[in-house]
Protein backbone atom coordinates (compact mmCIF):
# COMPACT_ATOMS: atom_id res chain seq x y z
CA UNK A 1 0.00 0.00 0.00
CA UNK A 2 1.30 3.49 -0.82
CA UNK A 3 2.37 5.45 2.24
CA UNK A 4 4.24 8.25 0.52
CA UNK A 5 2.54 9.33 -2.69
CA UNK A 6 5.31 11.67 -3.81
CA UNK A 7 7.95 8.98 -3.32
CA UNK A 8 5.81 6.53 -5.31
CA UNK A 9 5.28 9.09 -8.08
CA UNK A 10 8.99 9.77 -8.26
CA UNK A 11 9.93 6.09 -8.22
CA UNK A 12 7.45 5.08 -10.92
CA UNK A 13 7.67 8.26 -12.98
CA UNK A 14 4.09 9.50 -12.51
CA UNK A 15 3.35 12.95 -13.85
CA UNK A 16 0.13 13.76 -12.09
CA UNK A 17 -2.45 12.37 -9.71
CA UNK A 18 -5.71 14.28 -9.46
CA UNK A 19 -8.22 13.70 -6.67
CA UNK A 20 -11.74 14.98 -7.14
CA UNK A 21 -14.67 15.32 -4.78
CA UNK A 22 -18.11 16.76 -5.44
CA UNK A 23 -20.40 17.05 -2.45
CA UNK A 24 -23.61 17.39 -4.43
CA UNK A 25 -23.22 14.33 -6.68
CA UNK A 26 -21.21 12.42 -4.03
CA UNK A 27 -18.46 11.81 -6.58
CA UNK A 28 -15.11 10.71 -5.22
CA UNK A 29 -12.66 10.04 -8.00
CA UNK A 30 -8.96 9.72 -8.68
CA UNK A 31 -7.23 10.08 -12.02
CA UNK A 32 -3.64 8.90 -12.26
CA UNK A 33 -1.64 10.11 -15.22
CA UNK A 34 1.50 8.06 -15.62
CA UNK A 35 2.93 9.77 -18.66
CA UNK A 36 2.01 12.16 -21.46
CA UNK A 37 5.46 12.10 -23.07
CA UNK A 38 4.04 10.62 -26.25
CA UNK A 39 0.55 12.11 -26.10
CA UNK A 40 -2.56 12.19 -23.93
CA UNK A 41 -2.80 9.55 -21.24
CA UNK A 42 -5.44 6.94 -22.10
CA UNK A 43 -7.16 4.35 -19.90
CA UNK A 44 -10.62 3.27 -18.81
CA UNK A 45 -12.53 4.44 -15.76
CA UNK A 46 -13.33 1.85 -13.13
CA UNK A 47 -16.10 2.21 -10.55
CA UNK A 48 -15.58 0.02 -7.52
CA UNK A 49 -16.50 -0.05 -3.87
CA UNK A 50 -12.99 0.36 -2.46
CA UNK A 51 -12.50 -0.31 1.23
CA UNK A 52 -10.44 2.89 1.59
CA UNK A 53 -9.11 5.86 -0.33
CA UNK A 54 -5.72 4.18 -0.33
CA UNK A 55 -7.09 1.14 -2.16
CA UNK A 56 -8.63 3.40 -4.80
CA UNK A 57 -5.39 5.34 -5.18
CA UNK A 58 -3.36 2.16 -5.37
CA UNK A 59 -5.60 0.77 -8.11
CA UNK A 60 -5.44 4.00 -10.11
CA UNK A 61 -1.65 4.11 -9.94
CA UNK A 62 -0.94 0.49 -10.77
CA UNK A 63 -3.49 0.40 -13.60
CA UNK A 64 -2.23 3.70 -15.07
CA UNK A 65 1.34 2.42 -15.16
CA UNK A 66 0.19 -0.81 -16.79
CA UNK A 67 -1.58 1.31 -19.43
CA UNK A 68 1.73 2.91 -20.38
CA UNK A 69 3.10 -0.55 -21.11
CA UNK A 70 -0.04 -1.38 -23.07
CA UNK A 71 0.27 1.76 -25.18
CA UNK A 72 3.85 0.85 -26.01
CA UNK A 73 2.70 -2.71 -26.76
CA UNK A 74 -0.02 -1.29 -29.00
CA UNK A 75 2.43 1.00 -30.81
CA UNK A 76 0.20 4.03 -30.18
CA UNK A 77 1.36 7.47 -29.23
CA UNK A 78 -0.54 7.79 -25.99
CA UNK A 79 0.59 7.43 -22.41
CA UNK A 80 -0.92 5.46 -19.56
CA UNK A 81 -3.66 6.81 -17.33
CA UNK A 82 -6.55 5.44 -15.29
CA UNK A 83 -9.62 6.86 -13.65
CA UNK A 84 -11.28 5.31 -10.62
CA UNK A 85 -14.57 6.28 -9.02
CA UNK A 86 -15.03 5.11 -5.45
CA UNK A 87 -18.52 3.70 -5.01
CA UNK A 88 -20.80 0.76 -5.70
CA UNK A 89 -21.93 0.98 -9.33
CA UNK A 90 -25.20 -0.80 -8.54
CA UNK A 91 -26.14 1.63 -5.75
CA UNK A 92 -24.17 4.83 -6.14
CA UNK A 93 -24.02 5.40 -9.89
CA UNK A 94 -26.41 8.23 -10.75
CA UNK A 95 -26.70 10.50 -13.76
CA UNK A 96 -25.59 13.37 -11.54
CA UNK A 97 -22.45 11.49 -10.53
CA UNK A 98 -21.61 10.55 -14.12
CA UNK A 99 -22.10 14.14 -15.25
CA UNK A 100 -19.90 15.40 -12.45
CA UNK A 101 -17.18 12.87 -13.41
CA UNK A 102 -17.47 13.87 -17.08
CA UNK A 103 -17.05 17.55 -16.16
CA UNK A 104 -14.04 16.66 -14.04
CA UNK A 105 -12.41 14.84 -16.98
CA UNK A 106 -13.26 17.80 -19.23
CA UNK A 107 -11.43 20.09 -16.79
CA UNK A 108 -8.24 18.10 -17.43
CA UNK A 109 -8.42 19.49 -20.94
CA UNK A 110 -7.49 16.38 -22.89
CA UNK A 111 -4.55 15.29 -20.82
CA UNK A 112 -6.58 12.17 -19.99
CA UNK A 113 -8.81 10.23 -22.40
CA UNK A 114 -11.07 7.61 -20.93
CA UNK A 115 -13.84 5.08 -21.55
CA UNK A 116 -15.51 2.07 -20.01
CA UNK A 117 -14.03 -0.42 -17.56
CA UNK A 118 -15.35 -2.51 -14.68
CA UNK A 119 -18.48 -0.81 -13.28
CA UNK A 120 -18.72 1.74 -16.10
CA UNK A 121 -20.72 0.69 -19.14
CA UNK A 122 -20.82 1.78 -22.73
CA UNK A 123 -24.17 3.43 -21.97
CA UNK A 124 -22.56 5.46 -19.15
CA UNK A 125 -19.80 6.61 -21.50
CA UNK A 126 -22.36 7.63 -24.10
CA UNK A 127 -24.17 9.71 -21.50
CA UNK A 128 -20.95 11.34 -20.28
CA UNK A 129 -20.08 12.25 -23.85
CA UNK A 130 -22.71 15.02 -23.55
CA UNK A 131 -20.45 16.76 -21.04
CA UNK A 132 -16.95 15.77 -22.05
CA UNK A 133 -14.93 15.65 -25.26
CA UNK A 134 -12.30 13.26 -24.01
CA UNK A 135 -14.12 9.94 -24.08
CA UNK A 136 -13.70 7.00 -26.43
CA UNK A 137 -14.88 3.43 -27.07
CA UNK A 138 -18.38 4.71 -27.80
CA UNK A 139 -19.30 3.55 -31.28
CA UNK A 140 -17.20 0.43 -31.69
CA UNK A 141 -16.94 -2.67 -29.54
CA UNK A 142 -13.20 -3.22 -29.07
CA UNK A 143 -13.56 -6.94 -28.29
CA UNK A 144 -13.70 -8.21 -31.86
CA UNK A 145 -10.58 -6.16 -32.67
CA UNK A 146 -8.84 -7.61 -29.62
CA UNK A 147 -9.67 -11.07 -30.98
CA UNK A 148 -8.33 -10.13 -34.40
CA UNK A 149 -5.09 -8.91 -32.76
CA UNK A 150 -4.71 -12.17 -30.84
CA UNK A 151 -5.22 -14.06 -34.09
CA UNK A 152 -2.37 -12.06 -35.65
CA UNK A 153 -0.27 -12.69 -32.55
CA UNK A 154 -0.83 -16.42 -33.00
CA UNK A 155 0.20 -16.22 -36.66
CA UNK A 156 3.38 -14.30 -35.77
CA UNK A 157 4.20 -16.86 -33.07
CA UNK A 158 3.74 -19.68 -35.59
CA UNK A 159 5.98 -17.89 -38.06
CA UNK A 160 8.65 -17.37 -35.41
CA UNK A 161 8.64 -21.04 -34.42
CA UNK A 162 8.02 -22.78 -37.72
CA UNK A 163 8.68 -20.14 -40.41
CA UNK A 164 5.07 -20.58 -41.56
CA UNK A 165 2.20 -18.52 -40.18
CA UNK A 166 -0.80 -20.55 -41.31
CA UNK A 167 -3.06 -21.85 -38.56
CA UNK A 168 -4.75 -24.37 -40.80
CA UNK A 169 -4.88 -27.76 -39.09
CA UNK A 170 -3.46 -26.34 -35.85
CA UNK A 171 -5.23 -27.20 -32.61
CA UNK A 172 -6.06 -24.20 -30.39
CA UNK A 173 -7.48 -24.54 -26.86
CA UNK A 174 -9.32 -21.40 -25.71
CA UNK A 175 -10.13 -20.81 -22.05
CA UNK A 176 -13.15 -18.50 -21.89
CA UNK A 177 -15.39 -17.74 -24.83
CA UNK A 178 -16.78 -14.37 -23.81
CA UNK A 179 -16.66 -11.32 -26.05
CA UNK A 180 -13.07 -11.90 -27.15
CA UNK A 181 -12.73 -15.69 -26.92
CA UNK A 182 -15.91 -16.37 -28.90
CA UNK A 183 -14.85 -14.12 -31.77
CA UNK A 184 -11.36 -15.61 -31.72
CA UNK A 185 -12.80 -19.13 -31.87
CA UNK A 186 -14.92 -18.14 -34.86
CA UNK A 187 -11.96 -16.59 -36.73
CA UNK A 188 -9.81 -19.66 -36.03
CA UNK A 189 -12.46 -22.11 -37.24
CA UNK A 190 -12.89 -19.98 -40.38
CA UNK A 191 -9.15 -20.24 -40.92
CA UNK A 192 -9.10 -24.03 -40.74
CA UNK A 193 -7.91 -24.50 -37.16
CA UNK A 194 -9.25 -27.17 -34.84
CA UNK A 195 -10.65 -25.33 -31.81
CA UNK A 196 -11.46 -26.65 -28.34
CA UNK A 197 -13.07 -24.28 -25.85
CA UNK A 198 -14.10 -24.15 -22.20
CA UNK A 199 -16.34 -21.73 -20.33
CA UNK A 200 -18.41 -21.65 -17.18
CA UNK A 201 -21.34 -20.49 -19.28
CA UNK A 202 -23.11 -23.41 -21.04
CA UNK A 203 -24.95 -21.20 -23.53
CA UNK A 204 -21.68 -19.87 -24.84
CA UNK A 205 -20.42 -23.41 -25.31
CA UNK A 206 -23.52 -24.29 -27.33
CA UNK A 207 -22.89 -21.30 -29.60
CA UNK A 208 -19.31 -22.46 -30.13
CA UNK A 209 -20.48 -25.98 -30.99
CA UNK A 210 -22.78 -24.48 -33.63
CA UNK A 211 -19.82 -23.17 -35.62
CA UNK A 212 -17.65 -26.26 -35.22
CA UNK A 213 -15.68 -25.90 -31.99
CA UNK A 214 -15.32 -28.77 -29.52
CA UNK A 215 -16.08 -28.17 -25.85
CA UNK A 216 -14.54 -29.42 -22.61
CA UNK A 217 -15.11 -28.82 -18.90
CA UNK A 218 -13.22 -25.82 -17.45
CA UNK A 219 -10.63 -27.90 -15.55
CA UNK A 220 -9.82 -29.99 -18.64
CA UNK A 221 -8.63 -27.12 -20.83
CA UNK A 222 -5.14 -27.09 -19.27
CA UNK A 223 -4.58 -30.75 -20.09
CA UNK A 224 -5.34 -30.65 -23.77
CA UNK A 225 -2.55 -31.57 -26.11
CA UNK A 226 -2.62 -28.71 -28.56
CA UNK A 227 -0.47 -26.32 -30.55
CA UNK A 228 -1.72 -23.12 -28.88
CA UNK A 229 -3.21 -22.51 -25.46
CA UNK A 230 -5.20 -19.27 -25.38
CA UNK A 231 -6.25 -17.80 -22.01
CA UNK A 232 -9.20 -15.50 -22.72
CA UNK A 233 -10.99 -15.56 -19.35
CA UNK A 234 -9.17 -14.33 -16.27
CA UNK A 235 -5.69 -13.17 -15.34
CA UNK A 236 -3.20 -15.16 -13.26
CA UNK A 237 -4.19 -18.52 -14.72
CA UNK A 238 -0.63 -19.65 -15.49
CA UNK A 239 0.99 -20.42 -12.19
CA UNK A 240 4.11 -22.56 -11.87
CA UNK A 241 2.12 -25.79 -11.74
CA UNK A 242 0.16 -24.96 -14.88
CA UNK A 243 3.36 -23.80 -16.62
CA UNK A 244 4.91 -27.19 -15.90
CA UNK A 245 1.93 -29.15 -17.17
CA UNK A 246 0.70 -27.34 -20.31
CA UNK A 247 0.98 -29.53 -23.41
CA UNK A 248 1.33 -26.87 -26.11
CA UNK A 249 4.00 -25.00 -28.08
CA UNK A 250 2.56 -21.48 -27.85
CA UNK A 251 0.56 -19.48 -25.29
CA UNK A 252 -1.31 -16.51 -26.79
CA UNK A 253 -4.54 -15.10 -25.42
CA UNK A 254 -6.37 -11.92 -24.51
CA UNK A 255 -6.47 -12.11 -20.70
CA UNK A 256 -4.51 -9.45 -18.83
CA UNK A 257 -1.66 -10.55 -16.54
CA UNK A 258 -1.84 -14.21 -17.57
CA UNK A 259 1.32 -15.20 -15.71
CA UNK A 260 0.87 -15.56 -11.98
CA UNK A 261 4.59 -14.98 -11.45
CA UNK A 262 7.80 -14.32 -13.36
CA UNK A 263 8.86 -17.84 -12.40
CA UNK A 264 5.91 -19.23 -14.38
CA UNK A 265 7.17 -17.33 -17.45
CA UNK A 266 10.64 -18.79 -16.99
CA UNK A 267 9.25 -22.33 -16.71
CA UNK A 268 7.38 -21.89 -20.00
CA UNK A 269 10.58 -20.62 -21.63
CA UNK A 270 12.66 -23.52 -20.29
CA UNK A 271 10.07 -25.98 -21.59
CA UNK A 272 10.32 -24.40 -25.06
CA UNK A 273 6.79 -22.99 -24.92
CA UNK A 274 6.63 -19.61 -26.65
CA UNK A 275 4.65 -17.13 -24.55
CA UNK A 276 3.20 -14.12 -26.41
CA UNK A 277 3.29 -11.33 -23.78
CA UNK A 278 -0.28 -10.34 -22.97
CA UNK A 279 0.11 -6.57 -23.10
CA UNK A 280 1.32 -6.81 -26.69
CA UNK A 281 -0.93 -9.55 -28.03
CA UNK A 282 -4.17 -8.16 -26.55
CA UNK A 283 -3.67 -4.61 -27.82
CA UNK A 284 -6.19 -4.73 -30.70
CA UNK A 285 -9.00 -3.16 -28.65
CA UNK A 286 -6.78 -0.36 -27.38
CA UNK A 287 -5.60 0.39 -30.91
CA UNK A 288 -9.27 0.62 -31.93
CA UNK A 289 -10.39 3.00 -29.19
CA UNK A 290 -7.31 5.17 -29.81
CA UNK A 291 -8.25 5.33 -33.50
CA UNK A 292 -11.86 6.12 -32.64
CA UNK A 293 -10.76 8.96 -30.39
CA UNK A 294 -8.49 10.51 -32.98
CA UNK A 295 -10.38 9.96 -36.21
CA UNK A 296 -13.97 9.49 -35.00
CA UNK A 297 -14.79 6.99 -37.70
CA UNK A 298 -12.65 3.90 -38.17
CA UNK A 299 -10.70 3.54 -41.38
CA UNK A 300 -10.69 -0.24 -41.73
CA UNK A 301 -7.56 -0.46 -43.83
CA UNK A 302 -5.50 1.67 -41.47
CA UNK A 303 -6.86 -0.14 -38.43
CA UNK A 304 -6.09 -3.52 -39.94
CA UNK A 305 -2.52 -2.42 -40.66
CA UNK A 306 -2.05 -1.19 -37.12
CA UNK A 307 -3.49 -4.34 -35.58
CA UNK A 308 -1.31 -6.49 -37.80
CA UNK A 309 1.65 -4.56 -36.31
CA UNK A 310 1.06 -6.62 -33.16
CA UNK A 311 2.75 -9.52 -34.94
CA UNK A 312 5.85 -7.44 -35.77
CA UNK A 313 6.19 -6.22 -32.19
CA UNK A 314 5.87 -9.76 -30.88
CA UNK A 315 8.60 -11.02 -33.17
CA UNK A 316 10.84 -8.16 -32.04
CA UNK A 317 10.31 -9.22 -28.42
CA UNK A 318 10.82 -12.94 -29.16
CA UNK A 319 14.15 -12.11 -30.80
CA UNK A 320 15.13 -9.87 -27.91
CA UNK A 321 14.43 -12.66 -25.42
CA UNK A 322 16.70 -14.96 -27.43
CA UNK A 323 19.45 -12.35 -27.65
CA UNK A 324 19.29 -11.46 -23.94
CA UNK A 325 19.34 -15.14 -22.99
CA UNK A 326 22.51 -15.62 -25.06
CA UNK A 327 24.17 -12.49 -23.70
CA UNK A 328 23.35 -13.17 -20.05
CA UNK A 329 23.80 -16.93 -20.14
CA UNK A 330 20.41 -17.55 -18.51
CA UNK A 331 16.85 -17.96 -19.68
CA UNK A 332 15.21 -14.56 -20.20
CA UNK A 333 11.52 -15.21 -20.71
CA UNK A 334 9.58 -13.41 -23.42
CA UNK A 335 7.61 -11.75 -20.62
CA UNK A 336 10.75 -10.32 -19.08
CA UNK A 337 12.08 -9.34 -22.50
CA UNK A 338 8.79 -7.55 -23.23
CA UNK A 339 9.09 -5.54 -20.01
CA UNK A 340 12.68 -4.58 -20.83
CA UNK A 341 11.67 -3.74 -24.40
CA UNK A 342 8.86 -1.47 -23.17
CA UNK A 343 11.01 0.18 -20.49
CA UNK A 344 13.67 0.92 -23.06
CA UNK A 345 11.07 2.51 -25.32
CA UNK A 346 9.71 4.49 -22.42
CA UNK A 347 13.16 5.78 -21.50
CA UNK A 348 14.10 6.71 -25.04
CA UNK A 349 10.64 8.11 -25.86
CA UNK A 350 11.03 6.19 -29.09
CA UNK A 351 8.17 6.43 -31.54
CA UNK A 352 6.64 3.60 -33.41
CA UNK A 353 5.80 3.59 -37.08
CA UNK A 354 2.15 4.03 -36.09
CA UNK A 355 0.26 6.68 -38.01
CA UNK A 356 -1.24 7.93 -34.77
CA UNK A 357 0.48 11.20 -34.10
CA UNK A 358 1.57 13.04 -31.00
CA UNK A 359 -0.25 15.16 -28.41
CA UNK A 360 -3.92 15.77 -28.67
CA UNK A 361 -4.37 18.51 -26.18
N1 LIG B 1 -12.64 -7.07 -24.38
C2 LIG B 1 -11.47 -6.60 -24.78
O3 LIG B 1 -11.38 -5.91 -25.80
C4 LIG B 1 -10.22 -6.94 -24.00
C5 LIG B 1 -9.05 -6.25 -24.29
C6 LIG B 1 -7.88 -6.57 -23.60
C7 LIG B 1 -7.93 -7.57 -22.63
N8 LIG B 1 -9.10 -8.23 -22.37
C9 LIG B 1 -9.09 -9.29 -21.37
O10 LIG B 1 -9.44 -10.52 -22.03
C11 LIG B 1 -10.23 -11.35 -21.16
C12 LIG B 1 -11.58 -11.66 -21.81
O13 LIG B 1 -12.26 -10.44 -22.05
P14 LIG B 1 -13.79 -10.44 -22.52
O15 LIG B 1 -14.11 -9.04 -22.83
O16 LIG B 1 -14.00 -11.51 -23.54
O17 LIG B 1 -14.51 -10.85 -21.15
P18 LIG B 1 -15.91 -11.58 -20.97
O19 LIG B 1 -16.31 -11.32 -19.57
O20 LIG B 1 -16.85 -11.24 -22.07
O21 LIG B 1 -15.55 -13.14 -21.14
C22 LIG B 1 -14.87 -13.89 -20.20
C23 LIG B 1 -15.40 -15.31 -20.32
O24 LIG B 1 -14.61 -16.17 -19.51
C25 LIG B 1 -15.46 -17.10 -18.88
N26 LIG B 1 -14.78 -17.64 -17.70
C27 LIG B 1 -14.57 -17.07 -16.50
N28 LIG B 1 -13.87 -17.89 -15.70
C29 LIG B 1 -13.61 -19.01 -16.43
C30 LIG B 1 -12.93 -20.22 -16.17
N31 LIG B 1 -12.36 -20.47 -15.00
N32 LIG B 1 -12.86 -21.14 -17.16
C33 LIG B 1 -13.43 -20.91 -18.36
N34 LIG B 1 -14.10 -19.78 -18.65
C35 LIG B 1 -14.20 -18.85 -17.70
C36 LIG B 1 -16.72 -16.29 -18.55
O37 LIG B 1 -17.82 -17.14 -18.33
C38 LIG B 1 -16.84 -15.45 -19.83
O39 LIG B 1 -17.63 -16.10 -20.82
C40 LIG B 1 -10.34 -10.57 -19.84
O41 LIG B 1 -9.30 -10.99 -19.00
C42 LIG B 1 -10.12 -9.13 -20.27
O43 LIG B 1 -9.57 -8.34 -19.20
C44 LIG B 1 -10.24 -7.94 -23.05
**Chain segment 179-225, per-residue pLDDT in tens:** 999 999 999 999 999 999 999 999 999 999 999 999 999 999 999 99
Number of compact structural domains in the chain:
2
User: Same domain, yes or no, for 158 and 215?
Assistant: yes
Residues recognised as catalytic: 82
User: Same domain, yes or no, for 234 and 167?
Assistant: yes
User: Same domain, yes or no, for 214 and 337?
Assistant: yes
User: Same domain, yes or no, for 198 and 90?
Assistant: no
**Chain segment 140-163, per-residue pLDDT in tens:** 889 999 999 999 999 999 999 999
Residue 318 and residue 161: Cα distance in Å, rounded? 10
> Has residue 136 been placed in a domain?
no
153 lines ligand 1 (CB under 6 A): no
Task: Indicate the residue among 84, 99, 128 that finishes a domain.
Answer: 128
CATH number at residue 118: 3.40.50.10860
81 lines ligand 1 (CB under 6 A): no
CATH number at residue 199: 3.40.50.720
Backbone angles phi, psi at 275, to 5 degrees: -100, 120
> Has residue 108 been placed in a domain?
yes
195 lines ligand 1 (CB under 6 A): no
What is the distance in A from the centroid of ligand 1 to the CA of 253?
10
pTM for the model stands at 0.91
User: Same domain, yes or no, for 103 and 242?
Assistant: no
Residue nearest to atom 3 of ligand 1 (CA): 143
User: Could you give the residue ranges of the DSSP H alpha helices within the chain?
Assistant: 5-12, 53-74, 89-92, 95-107, 122-128, 142-162, 179-190, 202-210, 240-245, 262-270, 278-281, 284-295, 300-328, 334-348
User: Same domain, yes or no, for 328 and 211?
Assistant: yes
User: Same domain, yes or no, for 187 and 159?
Assistant: yes
pLDDT score at 223: 95
What is the distance in A from the centroid of ligand 1 to the CA of 320?
29
Residue-wise DSSP of 115-136:
--BTTB-HHHHHHHTTT-S-B-
User: Same domain, yes or no, for 121 and 227?
Assistant: no
User: Same domain, yes or no, for 112 and 163?
Assistant: no
* Structural domain boundaries enclosing 166: 142-284+312-346
Amino acid sequence: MISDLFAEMEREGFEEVVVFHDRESRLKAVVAIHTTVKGSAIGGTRMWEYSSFHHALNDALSLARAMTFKCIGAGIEFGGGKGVIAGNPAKDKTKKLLRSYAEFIQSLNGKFVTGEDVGVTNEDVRYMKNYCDFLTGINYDPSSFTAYGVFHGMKASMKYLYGEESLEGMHVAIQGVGKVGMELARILVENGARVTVSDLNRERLETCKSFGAECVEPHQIYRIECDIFSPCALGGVIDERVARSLECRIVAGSANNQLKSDAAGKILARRGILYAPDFIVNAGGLITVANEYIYGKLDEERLEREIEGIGDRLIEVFRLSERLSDERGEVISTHQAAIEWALERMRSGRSDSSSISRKYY
